[in-house]
Amino acid sequence: MSNSATPTRGPARPGPYIVAGIILTIGIVLPLVVPMYAKHDPELLGFPFFYWYQILWVFVEAGLLWITYTIVTREDKRRRAAVHKPNGSSLSDSNGTGK
C-alpha cells in the first residue's frame, strides 16, 4: 500500500552531493570576489579585464552547472531505480530521501 510518505527515491550516497555542493559553491563565491577582477589590465580586444572576465564567467558557470547536472542526475537515477523495482513493488526498508 502506498501513501505520500512512501520514499520516492532510495537513500543518497553522500559523495556525488558533496562534489556537486563544492562546484555550486565555487560558482556562487568566485564571481563575487570583486578585488580579483576590479582592474583594467590585461585588456582583451579593447575590453578592460573587469568586463571580459565577468562575461567569461557566464560560460564558466554554464560549464560548472553542466558538470553538476550530470553528477546529480546520475545519482538521482540510481536512487529512483532503487525504489522502483522492475516488478513494480517498492522497497519498504528504505527511508532516505537525501536531505
Positions touching other proteins (CB under 8 A) are 1-9, 24-25, 27-28, 31-35, 38-40, 43, 45-48, 50-51, 54-55, 57-59, 61-62, 64-66, 68-69, 72-73, 79-80, 97-99
**Cross-strand bridge partners of residue 68:** none
Nearer to other proteins, 2 or 87 (CB): 2
Q: State in angstroms the smallest separation of the CB of 65 from other proteins.
A: 4
Q: State in angstroms the smallest separation of the CB of 37 from other proteins.
A: 9
Nearer to other proteins, 18 or 25 (CB): 25
Q: How far is CA 68 from CA 1, 82, 85, in A?
A: 35, 21, 26
What does the DSSP assignment read for 5-63? TS-SS-PPPHHHHHHHHHHHHHHHHGGG-GGGT-S--S-BTTB-HHHHHHHHHHHHHHH
Q: State in angstroms the smallest separation of the CB of 88 from other proteins.
A: 12
